[in-house]
């Protein structure tokens, strides 16, 4: 089922009645989430991504705008009538119930025509448990499970009622690094198998990029960019998005455009046809550098980190807005020990941003 967010806005009134300092958590969010896709809501903390999720679930009421499930306007519908599955950041498993009781709980809530016979409830609970591979833990209490197992129970509990929409709030943040990798694959697999439209919230760009069909980058309640992960990475609309995506992060420099040439420091490093003369902020992806003795971009070499497949060159440049410039090149290239290192740049990995509003300047 597709979900339509129409000018969705959430304003939290100020706590102090005298001072007017309302917080705009989400501002004018319009987006159609296609059916059966996995969507990552991405942004730093306080960007409104969780608020958006809670508004879709019905736990929070929007201050403005509308939410549609399919063609139905559900804006006024409260959570219990929306039939969504929600997995909380710390899972919210009932500590006094076994895994089985936890998973059965949503089914036992059904009333009237929707009520299921007992055998079917149990069968459904086991189906959901099998899907997340915890059917051997059904009689344990949550406190006897590892973080990853609790996570799966939470997902099973959300899936058991076969929701049209599955919402996950920071699903991986309480797991250690290894489990995180494993679990995110798992989420992808489960989503593919069930085909349920799934929205998850995360502050970890790698997580979002690796499994989402579409990512939504948010900042201070405002959507910055929506697109397929690679698309957003390759073509960020502004400096914030460029900086937020990618590990290692993008290198940022002070620069200027003069006569359709981009200068970083005094060196003209790239031709930028069609860009008028102006000071700019330059973003260069780490993979956007070529080792080139004849290149125009000279940096002071600091050290070289060998990572097997790749080599990471750490250098410094006076125009850099980061402490170091990090470039990643193929390990076949030999890096000579010397004072300086010289690069040429790959044009499609270089982004220019306006000094005024940080928006992208295309060339």
Distances in Å between the Cα of 145 and the Cα atoms of 6, 151, 154, 237 are 40, 9, 12, 43
Question: CB of residue 2 vs other proteins: minimum separation in angstroms?
Answer: 12
Q: Quick one: which of 13, 61, 79, 231 contacts other proteins (CB under 8 A)? A: 79
Bridge-based pairing of strands 84-87 and 72-73 is: unpaired
Q: Which of 14, 78, 146, 230 binds other proteins (CB under 8 A)?
A: 78
Using DSSP, state whether 88 is helix, strand or coil: coil
Binding region for other proteins (CB under 8 A) out of 33-41, 100-108, 250-258, 327-335: 100-108
Q: Pick the closer one to other proteins by CB: 135 or 235.
A: 135
For 235, other C-beta atoms within 10 Å of its C-beta total 15
By rule CB under 8 A, what count of residues binds other proteins? 46
Find the binder of other proteins among 58, 62, 236, 255 (CB under 8 A). 58
Footprint of other proteins on 148-177 (CB under 8 A): 157, 161-164
Spatial strand order of the sheet with 310-316 comes to 289-291, 340-345, 297-306, 310-316, 325-330
Nearer to other proteins, 88 or 363 (CB): 88
Taking CB under 8 A as the criterion, the residue among 8, 42, 67, 74 binding other proteins is 74
| Chosen residue from 21, 35, 73, 318 binding other proteins by CB under 8 A | 73
Q: Write each residue from 114 to 133 as x if it is in contact with other proteins (CB under 8 A), else as -, in one continuous string.
A: x-x-------x--x------
Nearest approach in angstroms of CB 354 to other proteins is: 42
**CB-nearer residue toward other proteins: 81 or 276:** 81
Burial (CB < 10 A; 0-12, 13-18, 19+), residue 15, is: exposed
Cα(83)–Cα(61) distance, rounded to whole angstroms? 16
User: Shortest gap between Cβ of 138 and other proteins (angstroms)?
Assistant: 17
* Pairwise CA distance, residues 17 & 301, whole Å: 56
Judged by beta carbon, residue 96 or residue 118, the one nearer other proteins is 96
Question: Is residue 76 at the binding interface for other proteins, with CB under 8 A as the rule?
Answer: yes
Site pattern 192..211 for other proteins (x: CB under 8 A): --x-----------------
| 255 binds other proteins, rule: CB under 8 A | no
Choosing from 7, 30, 32, 96, the residue that interacts with other proteins (CB under 8 A) is 96
Does position 231 interact with other proteins (CB under 8 A)? The reply is no
Strand order of the β-sheet with 38-42 is 84-87, 165-169, 197-202, 38-42, 214-219, 222-227
**In this structure, is the dihedral angle defined by the CA atoms of residues 289, 291, 292 and 295, taken in order, positive or negative?**
positive
Q: Decide: 310 and 248 in contact? Cβ < 8 Å.
A: no
> Can you read off the two tokens belonging to residue 22?
């309302």
Q: Does position 86 bind other proteins by CB under 8 A? A: yes
Rounded to a whole number of angstroms, the minimum distance from the CB of residue 89 to other proteins is 8
Counts for the chain of helices (H) and strands (E), in that order: 8, 21
Per DSSP, the three-state class of 197 is strand
The CA–CA distances, whole Å, from 24 to 12, 220, 361, 363 equal 6, 8, 28, 34
Q: Nearer Cβ to other proteins, position 127 or 354?
A: 127
Instruction: Report phi then psi at 196, rounded to 5.
Output: -80, 135
CB of 337 to other proteins, least distance (A): 50
Applying CB under 8 A, the residues found at the interface with other proteins are 1, 57-59, 69-74, 76-86, 88, 90, 92, 94-97, 105-106, 108-111, 114, 116, 124, 127, 141, 143, 157, 161-164, 194
């Amino acid at each position: 089922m597709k979900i339509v967010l129409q000018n969705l806005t959430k304003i939290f009134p100020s706590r102090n009645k005298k001072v007017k300092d309302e917080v705009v958590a989400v501002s004018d969010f319009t987006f159609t989430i296609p059916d059966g896709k996995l969507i990552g809501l991405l942004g730093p903390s306080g960007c409104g991504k969780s608020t958006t999720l809670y508004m879709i679930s019905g736990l929070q009421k929007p201050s403005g705008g509308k939410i549609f499930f399919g063609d139905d306007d559900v804006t006024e519908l409260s959570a219990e009538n929306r039939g969504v599955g929600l997995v909380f950041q710390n899972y919210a498993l009932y500590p006094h119930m076994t895994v089985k009781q936890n998973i059965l709980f949503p089914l036992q809530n059904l009333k009237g025509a929707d009520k299921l016979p007992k055998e079917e409830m149990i069968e459904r609970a086991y189906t959901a448990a099998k899907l997340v591979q915890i059917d051997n833990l059904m009689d344990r209490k949550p406190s006897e499970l590892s973080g990853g197992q609790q996570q799966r129970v939470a997902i099973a509990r959300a899936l058991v009622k076969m929701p049209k929409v599955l919402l996950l709030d920071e699903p991986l943040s309480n797991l250690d690094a290894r489990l995180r990798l494993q679990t995110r694959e798992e989420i992808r697999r489960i989503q593919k198998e069930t085909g349920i439209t799934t929205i998850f919230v995360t502050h970890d760009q790698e997580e979002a990029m690796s499994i989402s069909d579409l990512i939504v980058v948010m900042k201070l309640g405002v959507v910055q960019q929506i697109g397929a992960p690679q698309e957003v990475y390759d073509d960020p609309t502004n400096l914030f998005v460029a900086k937020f995506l990618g590990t290692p992060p993008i290198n940022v420099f002070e620069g200027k455009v003069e006569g359709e040439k981009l200068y970083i420091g005094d060196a003209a490093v790239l031709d930028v046809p069609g860009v008028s003369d102006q000071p700019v902020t330059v973003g260069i992806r780490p993979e956007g550098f070529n080792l080139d003795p004849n290149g125009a971009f000279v940096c002071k070499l600091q050290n070289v980190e060998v990572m097997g497949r790749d080599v990471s060159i750490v250098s410094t440049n006076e125009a850099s807005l980061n402490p170091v410039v990090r470039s990643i090149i193929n390990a076949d290239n030999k890096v000579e020990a010397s004072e300086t290192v010289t690069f040429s740049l790959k044009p499609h990995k270089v982004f220019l941003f306006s000094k005024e509003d940080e928006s992208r300047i295309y060339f």
